[in-house]
């Protein structure tokens, strides 16, 4: 492979990695925007999303690669089922662990979020065992350049790469439409800006928060499914790691900003993939967090966010 | 307030001690001796921990629990940490101190993790108590080759050897692995490690040996094993043109991910193959990595000692007894735990007169320690062997395994391929 | 009085006797208890950062690691690097480790000064991730620049091997090598000393400053507390305690590996602090004990019991149950439950929930009329300090603002505003909502940096000064929406006001030499006098948040007076008061001017008040000064009438504002 082929390939790696981060980051940023809570359990909802999608595949009898009409029917079905399950899970978490603490100190819901995160990880550990587990090749993998275009290149672009991009972009577009055009979306934005005023304007704040958790959970579930199909492996501890990087992405983009979360996710994806190649995989985490700290110090509003003045 | 809390702690600990030890009504004309075991006994490590405990129990039960008039009692301790579920230095230190504080304790059996042994060996050494491990393979615990500066003397504050391992160390396995790679016709190796003691240690030895025997090594790189996405690292390897990946790691640190994703980036035989150490010799690995990927990369594994089914004599007999007694296949280190138990029993037998004359616990322990160090031509599971002056076995029989197709739910298995020297 | 004394004596006796009882009974629990105590010590250090200063730290294990590695690297006889190789004494290293940790606390704390709240938590989390990675990776460094390798396989930290062995403390005749009991006492001594000093720190000028920052950083800044140095000090002190804990941990274990300092440890420590009750020393100890005991004892014991119950009942599933597998589940559940049932922690101060609408302006439930301010109640010390123009030129105005400009984006909030406050004058600042009055206050007090113009206080420029420095020069303020330190007592609120007039340092706060003692008791006496003067004398020990509205207003003024101001800025002091309270407050302001010749700049919407009390009035509209003059002049000023009434208005000035 020549140097540019390596760069292109690593950029593709970064793109797919970043797309998954972006989907998780959206959930973080939405919840933070609306109740100012770093939802530590969010990464674990993503992790459970992967295992739940695996369970749905198993329930539908899918163990091998899907083809033809099965691919067109079963895969969307599993997407919907997984997203609904994780959305319901996320809503339940909010109801049980966060909602009673809305009027409490800032620290209290953060601690329960950590507690919930531990519980979810423990559940996954007991459910699937301590070792990484294989995720079946449900999505067909075709080397596009070689097999479809007959180009003999050292660069691999597979249908799986297409899947990640092809599933992420519609989800983000749908989310954007939802937030900017629908009544629910407007209620969410209003609540995020000023909860009291929103309430005074007749918006049911609790239901809006519930909807936020629902949408965030659904996105995490989709991310889990995509992650499973793309990387073909799942482990109980990956929620924490992915959550941390996704949160970094959300902060980079400016927490509360949805386009920011998407861009931040991609940025972290590229950065970590390039770091794996050009520095060393063992320094990547340190690099990601160093960037995070630098951004927070020198541009705390993030790359996309707006500086908000404190009310005095 | 604080007083009652401390009392509560104390009472609870008392309960542990009382419930942990068990009273027995055997005939013990010369009294009791205790063997302490210490390794993780929870979470993911529970099967292996139980297997090793079974191994020790097997050895003790072979002599009816009595040696030269002394009743043997096995006290099982857990050195896993509350915080992480993995071994923890503080807990291991506590265990070792518990053992040396018990006047009836004669030998300390453990640990599983070499990192834990680093903590406990100096403690047992000061008490002249022999420590026998069924599983530590980190070289630096006993010898200078493959060790960090100062090792192994730093573990011997008393200036004598009290730590013995009836199992070949990693420096041999890493070196054997490199030679095997050369024999396979590999042109260029990319070494990965999981940045843990075992994985990094064995990868370093592999790298050093490979360079010595003229096998080019592109890099010896630490990976972040917590990431479920290793494609960028594998892409880097593909770009380097290496035709073998050697991964120093264990199944708990995500070797599955590497193997599973090698296929995804086009790293399959004959272009690139996979070789790893015995930390990967677990069925769990094949489940996670899938047979497809394992077969595609022509995955091979080195193993310290012989495979159970290839053992002859004592080894074969032990294997059968274990299966009959516990109703399942022994775990990777269970039979070495049995071997360790037998070595200790044999030593107590030889040291019996000295134990009887001993004035205090330390002298008794010293007698047994000397007897263990003097173990010669022992009929072990891998054949006859003796301890060398470092407390290591003097054989280096290694075997090579390859993943082949097989019937059964997984679809493939590790099959013995060759004996390695 | 015998009760507490006897209890304390019993506690000390029990702590001293414990290891010997343990030895006699053969429990062998001293090691476990000592290890548990190390974690409790760490939690106490974290408590300074989280509980006192309110800075959420998610990466505290980094300091633990630094402490342990500082000890390890200095005190280990073997290490590959040429830098090391000579073991220093434990007794020296433990101080060095604490110093290194404190230094790192400042390094990590420095970037967080620019950020607040959750962002700060994220930065600490980032450091918590970076430091173990760095320690692991720095054990094997190779720098390869295109084939040139200036550094090859350098080992700085021992890498995944960790540091091993680490020297133990040496004291003649004390068997640190073989016996856990000396360790127990060493940790006990360090722990007791730490507790003692933390206790003293909490009840000092510094402790109050931390809590003020925690409660309301902006208000603290405007009350004379420097948030930068206060926060850095919290980080440094919190870190130094972990430096002690880390070095004892390293020396006791004689071996450290990077794996022992990961995120879980940070979280575990945070949970210890929060579980027991952040800010409460007793609570943190309780939380630490509970978590340690739960981990080491409860789960294994319950497993025994469940299995026994299973055998008795013949349920096969129970006999093989292993609850230790559920550790994290139970742990998480415990955290959730404690937070849901007692969010303030097990031993935390139970806080009465704020009734909904408690800060509603027109509270009909004000029963007793506020006491009328009396001139003879003015504390003598305040009179003594009254700025009778001794130090400064009495002819120079106390505040002289010329041409101040401030823009927010495209909006001009202040446009070339001039304002003059002569010595001992009461100046009113009025204008419609959004006219820029509060912005003007914020510019004068340093919260906002003006884009142009100059601000002189008694002839000295205030340009570029931090709010707390401006307070120290003698400018105090209150806020439009009351900003007290709600979780501190009334007395503590006033004591924070005195912060910039006190001098105790860390060493002083801990060691309490006579000078510091005298200063502190004087400060308390003054605070009590001030409370008596403002009519809050009998409420000194109540939490500020539990005061009725009118009292909160008066407390805010009392806190401002405690800073010994020359100029007092009051931002709508009578907002939300009933007529009687308003009257009393107006009298108070007049009294302050009369008796203390205090200058006052007053934003006020109640025209009756402002017209009645002010010497002169400045009117702002859209950031521009549209009028200046005596109350009578202002009332007739056509521009003012236009600004207030707009085009179609029919109400008169006073009525419009009364209805607000």
pLDDT for res C658: 44
Comparing A281 with A312, the larger pLDDT belongs to A281
pLDDT digits (tens, 9 = 90+) for A258-276: 889 999 999 999 999 999 9
pLDDT at C35: 85
B/e letters for B340-365, b = 16+ CB within 10 Å, e = fewer, are bbbbbbbbbebbbeebeebeebeebb
Has residue A226 got a pLDDT over 60?
Answer: yes
Q: How far apart are CA C325 and CA C331, in angstroms?
A: 11
Among the CATH numbers 3.40.50.2000, 1.10.150.120, 3.40.50.2300, 3.40.50.1100, which is that of B170-304+398-420? 3.40.50.2300
Cβ-Cβ contacts under 8 Å for C338 (sequence gap 6 or more): C275, C345, C346
Angle of helix C549-562 relative to helix C514-533, nearest 10 degrees, comes to 140
Q: Are strands C399-408 and C411-421 parallel, antiparallel or unpaired?
A: antiparallel
Residues A54, A231: Cα–Cα separation, whole Å: 13
- Chain C contact for A131 (CB, 8 A cutoff): no
A233 and B260: CB-CB below 8 Å?
yes
Could you name the CATH architecture of C371-377+388-474+564-660?
Answer: 3-Layer(aba) Sandwich (3.40)
Q: Identify the band that residue B106 occupies on the pLDDT scale cut at 50, 70 and 90.
A: very high
CB-nearest to B221 from A132, A133, A281 is A281
Residue C579, both tokens: 């007529």
Q: Give CA angle at C569 (C566, C570), nearest 5°.
A: 135
Quick one: closest CA in C to B119, which residue?
Answer: C255
**Element of type H or E holding C332:** helix C327-341
Chain B contact for A132 (CB, 8 A cutoff): yes
Closest residue of chain C to B91, computed from CA coordinates: C32
Number of Cβ within a 10 Å radius of residue C147: 5
What angle do helix axes C2-25 and C30-47 make, rounded to 10 degrees?
Answer: 140
Instruction: Choose the closest CB to A156 out of B195, B232, B266.
Output: B266
User: What DSSP character marks residue C163?
Assistant: B
For chain C (660 residues), the mean pLDDT of every run of 10, in chain order, is: 79 91 82 88 92 88 92 70 61 92 89 74 88 88 79 78 80 82 93 93 92 91 92 93 93 85 86 84 88 73 79 76 76 87 74 44 50 75 63 71 88 90 91 88 92 89 91 92 91 93 88 92 92 88 89 92 92 87 88 88 89 92 90 88 63 45
For residues B69 and B79, the answer to whether their CB atoms sit within 8 Å is: no
Other residues' Cβ atoms within 10 Å of the Cβ of residue B241:
13
Q: Give the chain A residue whose CA is nearest to the CA of C275.
A: A111
The HSE-up count of residue B335 (CA atoms within 13 Å, CB side) is: 24
Domain(s) of CATH 3.40.50.2300: residues in chain B: 28-168+313-385, 170-304+398-420
What band does B347 get if pLDDT is binned at 50, 70 and 90? very high
Contact: A300, C115; criterion CB under 8 Å: yes
CA-to-CA distance for B93 and B91, rounded, in angstroms? 5
Please report, to the nearest 10 degrees, the dihedral formed by the alpha carbons of residues B181, B183, B184, B188 taken in order. 50
The pLDDT of A229-250, averaged and rounded, is 89
Contact between B252 and A131 using a beta-carbon 8 Å cutoff: yes
pTM for this prediction? 0.86
Interface contact A173, partner C, CB < 8 A: no
Q: Measured between CB atoms, which of B10, B93, B154 is closest to C253?
A: B93
Closest alpha carbon to B394 in B402, B406, B403, B382 = B382
Lowest mean pLDDT among A259-268, B147-156, B191-200, C125-134: B147-156
Chain B nearest-CA distance from A114, in A, is: 14
The pLDDT assigned to B309 comes to 77
Q: In Å, how far is A39's CA from the nearest CA of chain B? A: 21
How many residues would you count in chain B?
421
Residue B210's pLDDT band, with cuts at 50, 70 and 90, is very high
- Residue C146's Cβ-count burial label (10 Å; 0-12, 13-18, 19+) is exposed
pLDDT tens digits along B392-406: 998 878 889 999 999
Q: Are C113 and C221 in contact (CB under 8 A)?
A: no
Q: Which residues of B touch C259 (CB under 8 A)?
A: 84, 86, 115, 196
Average pLDDT, whole number, for chain B? 87
What are the extents of the domains in chain C? Answer: 30-263, 371-377+388-474+564-660, 488-562
Closest-CA residue to C419 (of C453, C389, C387, C386): C453
Residues of B in contact with A227 (CB under 8 A): 228
What residues of chain C, 144 to 203, have a C-beta less than 8 Å from chain B? 155, 158-162, 164-165, 177-178, 180
Look at C339 and A111 and tell me if their CB atoms are within 8 Å: yes
The answer to whether B109 and B341 are in contact (CB under 8 A) is yes
C-alpha distance from A132 to closest chain B C-alpha (Å): 6
C-alpha distances in Å from residue C525, one per residue of A281, B197, C220, C282, C529: 62, 62, 21, 28, 6
CA distance B123 to chain C (A): 8
Mean pLDDT lowest among B88-92, B370-374, C86-90, C103-107: C86-90
Q: Which of B235, B294, B295 to mutate to test the interface with A (most CBs of A within 10 A)?
A: B235
pLDDT grade, residue A310 (50/70/90)? very low
C contacts of A119 (beta carbons < 8 Å)? 328-329, 332-333, 336
Residue B133's closest CA among B65, B34, B277, B36? B36
Write down the architecture of domain B28-168+313-385 according to CATH: 3-Layer(aba) Sandwich (3.40)
String of DSSP letters for B383-407? EEE-B-TTSBBS---EEEEEEEE-S
Taking only residues 308 to 327 of chain C, the set having a beta carbon closer than 8 angstroms to any beta carbon of chain A reads 325-327
A chain contacts of residue C133, beta-carbon cutoff 8 Å = 282-283, 285-286
Q: Is the pLDDT reported for residue B339 higher than 90?
A: yes
The span from the CA of C249 to the CA of C457, in Å, is: 54
Q: Write out the two tokens for A272.
A: 């970590």
Confidence of residue B84 (pLDDT cuts 50, 70, 90): low
Q: Is A107 on the interface with C (CB under 8 A)?
A: yes
Give the whole-angstrom CA distance, residue C528 versus residue B326. 78
Least Cα distance to C573 among C494, C486, C477, C655 occurs for C477
* B16 Cβ contact partners less than 8 Å away, ≥ 6 residues apart: C297, C300, C301
């Amino acid at each position: 492979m020549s140097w540019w082929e390596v760069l292109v390939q690593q950029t593709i790696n970064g793109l797919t990695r970043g797309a998954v981060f972006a989907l998780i980051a959206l959930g973080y940023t939405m919840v933070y925007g609306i109740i100012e809570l770093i939802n530590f359990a969010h990464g674990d909802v993503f992790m459970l999303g992967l295992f739940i999608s695996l369970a749905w595949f198993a329930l539908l009898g899918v163990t091998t690669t899907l083809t033809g009409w099965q691919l067109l029917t079963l895969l969307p079905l599993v997407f919907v089922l997984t997203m609904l399950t994780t959305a319901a899970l996320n809503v339940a978490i909010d109801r049980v662990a966060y909602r009673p603490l809305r009027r409490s100190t800032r620290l209290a819901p953060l601690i329960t979020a950590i507690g919930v995160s531990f519980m979810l990880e423990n559940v996954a550990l007991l459910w699937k065992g301590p070792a990484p587990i294989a995720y079946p090749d449900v999505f067909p993998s075709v080397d596009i350049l070689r097999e479809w275009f007959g180009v003999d290149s050292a660069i691999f672009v597979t249908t799986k790469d297409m899947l990640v991009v092809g599933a992420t972009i519609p989800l983000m577009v749908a989310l954007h439409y939802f937030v900017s055009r629908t009544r629910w979306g407007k209620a969410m934005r209003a609540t995020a800006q000023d909860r009291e005023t929103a309430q005074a304007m007749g918006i049911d704040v609790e239901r809006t928060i519930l909807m936020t958790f629902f949408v965030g959970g659904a996105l995490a579930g989709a991310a889990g499914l995509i992650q499973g199909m793309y990387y073909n492996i799942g482990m109980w501890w990956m929620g924490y790691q992915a959550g941390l990087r996704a949160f970094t992405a959300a902060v980079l983009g400016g927490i509360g900003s949805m386009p920011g979360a998407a861009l931040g996710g991609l940025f972290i994806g590229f950065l970590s993939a390039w770091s794996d190649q050009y520095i060393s995989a063992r320094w990547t985490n340190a690099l990601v967090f160093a960037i995070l700290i630098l951004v927070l110090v020198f541009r705390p509003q993030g790359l996309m966010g707006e500086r908000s003045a404190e009310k005095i | 307030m604080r007083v009652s809390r401390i009392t509560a702690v104390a009472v609870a600990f008392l309960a542990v001690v009382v419930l942990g030890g068990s009273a027995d009504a055997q005939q013990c004309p010369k009294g009791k001796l205790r063997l302490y075991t210490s390794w993780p006994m929870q979470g993911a490590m529970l099967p292996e921990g139980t297997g090793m405990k079974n191994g020790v129990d097997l050895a003790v039960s072979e002599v009816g629990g009595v040696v030269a008039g002394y009743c043997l009692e096995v006290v099982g301790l857990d050195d896993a940490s509350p915080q992480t579920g993995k071994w923890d230095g503080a807990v291991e230190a506590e265990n070792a101190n518990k053992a040396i504080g018990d006047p009836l304790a004669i030998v300390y059996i453990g640990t599983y993790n070499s990192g834990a042994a680093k903590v406990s060996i100096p403690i047992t050494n000061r008490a002249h108590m022999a420590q026998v491990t069924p599983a530590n393979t980190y070289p630096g615990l006993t010898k200078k080759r493959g060790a960090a500066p100062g090792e192994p003397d730093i573990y011997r504050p008393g200036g004598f050897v009290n730590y013995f391992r009836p199992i070949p160390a990693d420096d041999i396995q890493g070196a054997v692995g490199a030679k095997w790679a050369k024999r396979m016709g590999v042109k260029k190796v990319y070494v990965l490690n999981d940045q843990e003691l075992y994985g990094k240690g064995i990868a370093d030895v592999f790298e050093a040996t490979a360079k010595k025997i003229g096998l080019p090594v592109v890099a010896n790189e630490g990976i972040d094993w917590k990431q479920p996405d290793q494609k960028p690292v594998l892409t880097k390897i593909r770009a380097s043109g290496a035709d073998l990946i050697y991964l120093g790691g264990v199944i708990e640190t995500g070797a599955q991910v590497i193997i599973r994703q090698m296929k995804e980036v086009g790293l399959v035989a004959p272009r690139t193959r996979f070789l790893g150490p015995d930390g990967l010799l677990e069925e769990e690995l094949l489940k996670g990595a899938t047979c497809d990927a394992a077969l595609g990369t022509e995955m091979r594994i080195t193993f310290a000692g012989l495979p159970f089914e290839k053992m002859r004599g004592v080894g074969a007999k032990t294997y059968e007894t274990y299966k009959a007694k516990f109703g399942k296949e022994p775990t990777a280190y269970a039979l070495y735990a049995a071997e360790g138990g037998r070595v200790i029993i044999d030593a107590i037998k030889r040291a019996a007169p000295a134990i009887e004359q001993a004035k205090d616990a330390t002298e008794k322990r010293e007698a047994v320690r000397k007897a263990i160090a003097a173990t010669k031509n022992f009929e072990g599971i891998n054949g006859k062997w003796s301890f060398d002056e470092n407390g290591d076995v003097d054989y280096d029989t290694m075997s090579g395994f390859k993943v082949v197709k097989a019937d059964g739910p997984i679809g493939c298995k590790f099959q013995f391929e060759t004996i390695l020297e | 009085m015998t009760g507490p004394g006897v209890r304390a004596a019993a506690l000390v006796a029990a702590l001293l006797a414990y290891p010997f009882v343990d030895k006699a009974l053969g429990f062998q629990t001293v090691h476990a208890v000592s290890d548990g105590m190390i974690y409790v010590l760490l939690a106490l250090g974290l408590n300074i950062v989280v509980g006192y200063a309110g800075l959420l730290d998610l990466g505290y294990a980094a300091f633990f690691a630094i402490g342990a590695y500082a000890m390890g690297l200095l005190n280990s006889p073997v290490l590959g690097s040429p830098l090391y190789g000579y073991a220093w004494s434990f007794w020296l290293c433990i101080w060095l480790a604490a110093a290194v940790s404190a230094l790192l606390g400042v390094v990590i704390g420095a970037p967080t000064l620019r950020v607040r709240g959750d962002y700060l938590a994220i930065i600490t989390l980032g450091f918590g991730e970076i430091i173990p990675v760095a320690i692991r990776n720095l054990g094997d460094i190779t720098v390869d620049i295109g084939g040139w390798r200036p550094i090859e396989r350098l080992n700085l930290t021992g890498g995944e091997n960790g540091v091993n062995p680490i020297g133990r403390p040496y004291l003649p005749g004390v068997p640190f090598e073989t016996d856990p009991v000396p360790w127990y006492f060493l940790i006990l001594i360090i722990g007791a000393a730490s507790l003692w000093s933390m206790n003293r720190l909490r009840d000092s000028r510094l402790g109050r400053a931390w809590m003020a920052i925690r409660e309301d950083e902006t208000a603290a800044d405007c009350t004379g507390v420097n948030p930068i140095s206060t926060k850095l000090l919290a980080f440094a002190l919190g870190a130094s305690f972990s430096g002690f804990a880390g070095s004892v941990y390293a020396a006791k274990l004689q071996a450290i590996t990077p794996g022992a300092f990961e995120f879980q440890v940070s979280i575990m420590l945070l949970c210890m602090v929060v579980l027991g009750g952040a800010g409460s020393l007793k609570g943190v100890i309780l939380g630490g004990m509970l978590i340690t005991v739960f981990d080491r004892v409860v789960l294994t014991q319950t497993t025994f019991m469940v299995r026994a119950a299973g055998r008795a009942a013949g349920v096969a599933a129970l006999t093989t149950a292993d609850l230790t597998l559920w550790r994290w589940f139970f742990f998480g559940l415990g955290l959730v439950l404690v937070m849901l049932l007692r969010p303030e922690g097990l031993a935390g101060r139970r806080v009465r929930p704020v009734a909904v609408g408690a800060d509603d302006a027109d509270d009909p439930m004000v029963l007793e009329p506020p006491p009328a301010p009396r001139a003879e109640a003015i504390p003598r010390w305040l009179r003594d300090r009254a700025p009778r123009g001794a130090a400064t030129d009495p002819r120079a105005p106390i505040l002289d603002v010329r041409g101040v400009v401030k823009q927010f984006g495209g909006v001009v909030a202040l446009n070339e505003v001039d304002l003059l406050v002569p010595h001992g004058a009461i100046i009113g600042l009025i204008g419609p909502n959004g006219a820029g009055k509060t912005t003007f206050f914020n510019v004068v007090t340093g919260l906002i940096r003006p884009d142009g113009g100059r601000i002189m206080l008694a002839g000295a420029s205030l340009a570029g000064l931090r709010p707390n420095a401006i307070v120290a020069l003698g400018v105090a303020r209150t806020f439009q929406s009351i900003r007290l330190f709600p979780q501190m007592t009334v007395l503590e609120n006033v004591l924070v006001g005195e912060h910039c007039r006190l001098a105790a340092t860390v060493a002083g706060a801990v060691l309490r030499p006579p000078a510091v003692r005298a200063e502190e008791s004087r400060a308390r006496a003054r605070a009590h006098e001030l409370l008596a003067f403002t009519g809050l004398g009998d409420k000194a020990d109540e939490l500020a948040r539990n005061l009725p509205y009118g009292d909160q207003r008066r407390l805010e003024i009392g806190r401002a007076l405690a800073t010994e101001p020359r100029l007092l800025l009051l931002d709508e002091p009578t907002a939300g008061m009933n007529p009687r309270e308003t009257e009393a407050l107006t009298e108070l302001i007049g009294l302050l001017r009369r008796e203390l010749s205090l200058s006052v700049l007053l934003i006020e919407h109640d025209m009756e008040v402002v017209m009645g009390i002010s010497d002169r009035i400045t009117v702002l509209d859209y950031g521009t000064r549209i009028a200046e003059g005596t109350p009578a002049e202002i009332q007739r000023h056509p521009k003012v009438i236009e600004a207030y009434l707009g085009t179609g208005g029919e109400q008169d000035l006073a009525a419009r504002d009364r209805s607000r």
